[in-house]
Amino acid sequence: MFSCIGEDGRPRYIMTRFLCCNLRTAIYIIGFNELVVYTGLMAALVYFMAHLKGRIVEGRFSMPTMFLMFTVHIIFDFLLIYAVRNKRRNILWGWIWARCVQMLGYVQRNLVWMFLMIMGDTSTGMVVLMGGYIVVIIASNLLAVVIIRSYALQLKAMETLSSSPLQYTPGEAREAT
């Protein structure tokens, strides 16, 4: 069974840095990147909604549903940036759980779509391409979740240290003065 807690009771899968930056900077990069992407998608969607009025658009989702999904993404990205800026650990955990639910819905929706593609007259190459796309999206989302979870655990450790009467030193613990 998958567990994020080791046998010794300490958390597993924790990062201290991501590439060449600390976790806080990495989360800012994740948040602003998603904010730019979903704002651009929202602008394109509004443009298409204005210019395709009265026409039926075929696809997996209706345009109002996509508009709602993009709006929710943008709100969550603002919450992520706010939580990191103000060191709000509880909002980070909410973002993590919301992202996990979103990933489950994404996997379920795209697996059903792939199954329908297999049952239809879609070429095998397109199905393999779609499967690879799903793997890349899930891997990038899992990386974001691990980075943000690690930062939330760092905040918890800092809160614990700041509320303790003991002062951290590389040697033994001593009373803070």
- What are the pLDDT tens digits along the chain (177 aa)? 345 666 666 666 677 777 788 888 888 999 999 999 999 988 988 887 777 765 655 555 577 778 888 899 899 999 999 999 999 989 999 999 998 888 888 888 878 877 777 777 667 777 777 778 888 888 888 888 988 988 888 888 877 766 666 555 555 545 555
What pTM was computed for the model? 0.73
- 15 within 8 A of 147, measured Cβ to Cβ: yes
User: How many domains is the chain built from?
Assistant: 1
In a domain, 166, yes or no: no
Asked if 44 contacts 57 with a C-beta cutoff of 8 angstroms, the reply is: no
Domain that holds residue 42: 17-161
- Residue 174: inside a domain: no
* Model pLDDT, residue 59: 54
DSSP class of residue 96? H
Q: What is the pLDDT of residue 75?
A: 93
* pLDDT given at position 176: 53
CB 15 within 8 A of CB 146: yes
Asked whether residue 5 is assigned to any structural domain, the reply reads: no
In this prediction, residue 74 carries a pLDDT of 92
Residue 49 pairs in a beta bridge with: none
Residue 173 falls within a domain, yes or no?
A: no
Residue 141 resides in a domain = yes
- 9 in a domain, yes or no? no
Residue 50: predicted pLDDT: 77
- Asked if residue 8 is part of any domain, the answer here is no
Q: Is residue 154 part of a domain?
A: yes
- Tell me the C-alpha distance between 106 and 69, whole Å: 12
Comparing CA positions, the residue from 35, 13, 21 lying closest to residue 146 is 13
